[in-house]
Amino acid sequence: MTTQPLATPASSQGQALGKTGVLIVNLGTPDSPSVPDVRKYLREFLMDARVIDIPPLSRWMLVNLIIAPFRAPKSAKIYREVWTEAGSPLKVYGYAVEELLQKTLGDDYVVKLAMRYQSPSIEDSLMAFQKLGLSKLTVVPFFPQYASATTGSIYEEVMRVLKSWQIMPEMRFINSFLDHPGFIEGFVRLGQKYMQQRPYDHYVFSYHGLPERQIRKGDVTGQQCQLGSCCDSLHARNQHCYRAQCFETTRRLVKELNIPEGKYTTCFQSRLGKEPWIQPYTEELVKELPKKGVKSVLAFSPAFVADCLETTIEVGEEYKELFEELGGEHWQLVESLNDSAIWVDTLADLVQKA
Ligand SMILES: C=CC1=C(C)c2cc3[nH]c(cc4nc(cc5[nH]c(cc1n2)c(C)c5CCC(=O)O)C(CCC(=O)O)=C4C)c(C)c3C=C
Ligand SMILES: [Fe+2]
Ligand SMILES: [Fe+2]
């Protein structure tokens, strides 16, 4: 009997036989800025047990009897302010990035946008992938810092859909990318554009907030997180702490932007309800700055990669109004990465190295 030399399969040489699916996922947005559509969106979003992490009956009552009915008309009004002819900015930028990333990655990849809530759903986008017989699937949540309420929730939904598949492709999840040089450089370039135009007294780095409870639940050691100086460095024990990752993002940005100590603050916006969220709160900082003689502020929102309600309206308009009412003179929001070439190249790099 003659033995044939064993051929190494193409897949183990790094050459996949089929394509790699790339699922880019952002939070979600209502289908239209009408009150019923905003209410539908808020219900789906806030009924997620990773977003409002309280017992199911209490969550149902809070969302359906209090938050959705009262917040929907107010939110719908704000959504109407940011809505464009092509739709919600979060979705418009999402589709633009989908197209540009597809061009950058080429024919070995298929890129699809999904939203964690509302449309296009993760389930529909994955079902479209299933028919293609992918070799590999890479999921890229559009959140630079890990949080159970965002990245964690996206993983859970992807795994829920995939669990019934007969064939599971090779899988990759991008957990966070605050340390990617392209992500940092993207915000640095945007910031420098404003810093070259005029000097600023203070620089604000405002991130989306989270209930403190959610940070504590993520402290698997039970000893790491006191929600204070424990977030001053990022290391093995707190590597998934959202608050620590936000402080690390600021450190990387201020280093590249040459902003001196004492001239910047990391803070957290969008608190909902009465329980404590991670601090310092952006609103409190905005009230304090004019008292300290700060007249001009450049504000970054590096928890978001696309402009949305949280950036354009909350940081760009509401905090600006508050600052100016209290004696501040100039408040400038740095826009997000949106569909910039550096952001698309960063995504391509994350996917190719995954
Ligand atoms: C308990 C509530 C919320 C948690 C926890 C939360 C975490 C969280 N969210 C984002 C990113 C975004 N949130 C956006 C909007 C938004 N977030 C909440 C509540 C929680 N978020 C609400 C009620 C809303 C709706 C806004 C409103 O009604 O005023 C958005 C913007 C969506 C858009 O513009 O279309 C983003 C993006 C992160 C990163 C995060 C945890 C780290
Ligand atoms: Fe949010
Ligand atoms: Fe911490």
Task: Give me the pLDDT at residue 6, please.
Answer: 58
59 CA from centroid of ligand 1 (Å)? 16
d(CA 14, CA 354): 12
Tell me, yes or no, whether 121 and 215 share the same domain: no
- Summarize the confidence of residues 219-235 as an average pLDDT: 81
Beta strands, E only, the chain: 20-28, 109-117, 136-141, 170-173, 202-208, 264-269, 296-300, 330-333
- The answer, yes or no, to whether residue 28 has pLDDT greater than 60, is yes
Is the omega angle on the peptide bond into residue 5 within 30 degrees of 0, that is, cis?
no
20-28 and 330-333 beta bridge pairing = unpaired
Are 86 and 50 contained in the same domain? yes
Domain identity same for 216 and 296: yes
- pLDDT-derived band of residue 219, with 50, 70 and 90 as boundaries? confident
pLDDT band at 15 (very low <50, low <70, confident <90, very high): low
pLDDT above 80: residue 4: no
Mean per-residue pLDDT of the chain: 94
Q: Are residues 197 and 326 in the same domain?
A: yes
pLDDT of residue 220: 79
Residues 228 and 317 grouped into a single domain: yes
In a domain, 15, yes or no: no
Write out pLDDT tens, residues 103-138.
999 999 999 999 999 999 999 999 999 989 899 999
Q: Specify if 56 maps to a domain.
A: yes
Output the pLDDT for position 3. Answer: 53
Q: Which ligand is nearest to the CA of 27?
A: 1
| Number of domains forming the structure of the chain | 2
CA 196–ligand 1 middle distance (angstroms) = 32
Quick one: pLDDT band at residue 229, thresholds 50, 70, 90? confident
Give 286 Cα–ligand 1 centroid separation in angstroms: 20
**CB-CB contact of 144 with 119 (8 Å):** no
pTM of the model: 0.93
82-91: pLDDT as tens digits: 999 999 999 9
Residue 162, pLDDT score: 95
Q: Is residue 13 part of a domain?
A: no
pLDDT for 218 equals: 87
Which of 71, 277, 309 has the most ligand 1 atoms within 8 A of CB, as the residue to mutate?
309
The two tokens of residue 174 are 């991008």
The residue among 203, 213, 206 whose CA lies nearest residue 284 is 206
Q: Are residues 308 and 289 in the same domain?
A: yes
Q: How far apart are CA 301 and CA 319, in angstroms?
A: 12
Instruction: Determine if residue 284 is labeled as part of a ligand binding site.
Output: no
Give the distance from CA 113 to its chain's centroid. 14
pLDDT band at 286 (very low <50, low <70, confident <90, very high): very high
Whether residues 306 and 229 fall in one domain: yes
Q: Please check whether residue 10 lies inside any domain of the structure.
A: no
Q: Is the pLDDT of residue 9 over 80?
A: no
Helix%, strand%, coil% for the chain, nearest 5: 45, 15, 35
296 burial (CB, 10 Å; 0-12 / 13-18 / 19+) is: middle
Q: Is residue 5 part of a domain?
A: no
Same domain, 213 and 253: yes
User: Which residues contact ligand 1 via a Cβ below 6 A?
Assistant: 27, 29, 51-52, 71, 75, 78, 88, 90, 143, 147, 149-150, 208, 210, 242, 270, 272, 303-304, 308-310
Q: Are 315 and 206 in contact (CB under 8 A)?
A: yes
**Tokens coding 160:** 């829920």
8 within some domain: no
135: exposed, middle or buried (C-beta count within 10 Å: 0-12, 13-18, 19+)? middle
Q: Domain of 223?
A: 181-333
> For a pLDDT cut of 70, what percent of the chain falls above it?
96
Residue 4 lies in a domain: no
Domain identity same for 188 and 325: yes
Q: Residues 197, 214: one domain? A: yes
> Are 261 and 322 part of one and the same domain?
yes
Does 202 carry a binding-site annotation? no
Above 70 in pLDDT, residue 348? Answer: yes
pLDDT digits (tens, 9 = 90+) for 141-159: 999 999 999 999 999 999 9
Q: How many CB atoms lie within 10 A of CB 10?
A: 11
Amino acid identity, residue 94?
G
So what's the pLDDT on residue 17? 82
Q: What is the CATH number of the domain that holds 294?
A: 3.40.50.1400
Ligand 1 atom 12: the closest Cα is on which residue?
A: 27
Protein residue with least CA distance to atom 40, ligand 1? 208
Statement to judge: residues 326 and 212 lie in one domain: yes
Do the domain assignments include residue 11? Answer: no
Query: What is d(CA 249, CA 186) in angstroms, rounded to the nearest whole number?
Result: 13
Q: How far apart are CA 51 and CA 147, in angstroms?
A: 10
What was the ipTM of the complex prediction?
A: 0.92
